[in-house]
Amino acid sequence: MSQISGKSVIITGASSGIGEATAKMLAEQGAKLMLAARREDKLDKLVAEIEAAGGTAAYQIVDVTKQSQVQALADETLKQYGKIDVMINNAGIMPLSRLDQLLVEEWERTIDINIKGVLYGIAAVLPAMQKANSGHIINISSVAGHAVFPGGAVYCGTKYAVRAISEGLRKEIGKDIRCTIISPGAVATELTNHITDETASKGANQLYEIAIGADAVARAIAYAIEQPKEVDINEILLRPTAQEL
């Protein structure tokens, strides 16, 4: 039996891309899923697919920039499944642009989702995990949390922040709760759709011609979860073989 079987798992940003692929993979291995995103139609379809295949899943409509909604997500998970074994803070956006374009509203949105969303996710589940003396928090960063590139100053800043938060969390939460950060390179998702700057969009689309499937990241996440409790996979960095950045 898989080490994942029976685990209660929350996934934010679950309506597409890495979140969707991870949901399907973990459901196949017997996880009980609580899926969160803003697009109810996609969540409803995904839950139906999982249940039709014999899996267990439910969903909540959640904007991760709203702390009350993220807390309600955790509360509903506890209500339905009685525990929270894994929190996957996956929701994120990547509206690239040079700083001199002064797209300040996009900067604020990126910070709110990519940083505050992760912090709200941690805050929502940590008390229950500490009470249970068990749990696993997985934060999705990026290769952009390891290297800065023109047009990515704000996005890279948020992903560096996710790495710092994850390492701080690991050092603070003690021996019973695990913390993993997953840093993917170019992955075929909707991430590039958020880029409004034409020059940045063109460059990103060229890079993403070599993008790997979201299932590659889902396998990395599953690998971290399925380890014995005494094994803490702290960081996984994965890229397309052809990617230099």
Active site residues: 155
- Return all residues near 5 (Cβ < 8 A) that are at least 6 apart: 29, 30, 31
Give the alpha-carbon dihedral of 33, 59, 84, 52, to 10 degrees: -20
- Report DSSP state, residue 41: H
Q: Residue 67's CB: how many other CB atoms inside 10 A?
A: 15
Indicate the SS3 state at residue 27: helix
Q: Are 117 and 12 in contact (CB under 8 A)?
A: yes
C-beta pairs of 169-174 under 8 Å, 24+ apart in sequence: 169/122, 169/137, 170/232, 170/234, 173/126, 173/129, 173/130
Which single residue is written with the structure tokens 């996984």? 236
Nearest Cα neighbor of 7 from 68, 70, 76, 86 is 86
Indicate the SS3 state at residue 35: strand
Indicate the SS3 state at residue 14: coil
Instruction: State the amino acid at position 101 in one-letter form.
Output: Q
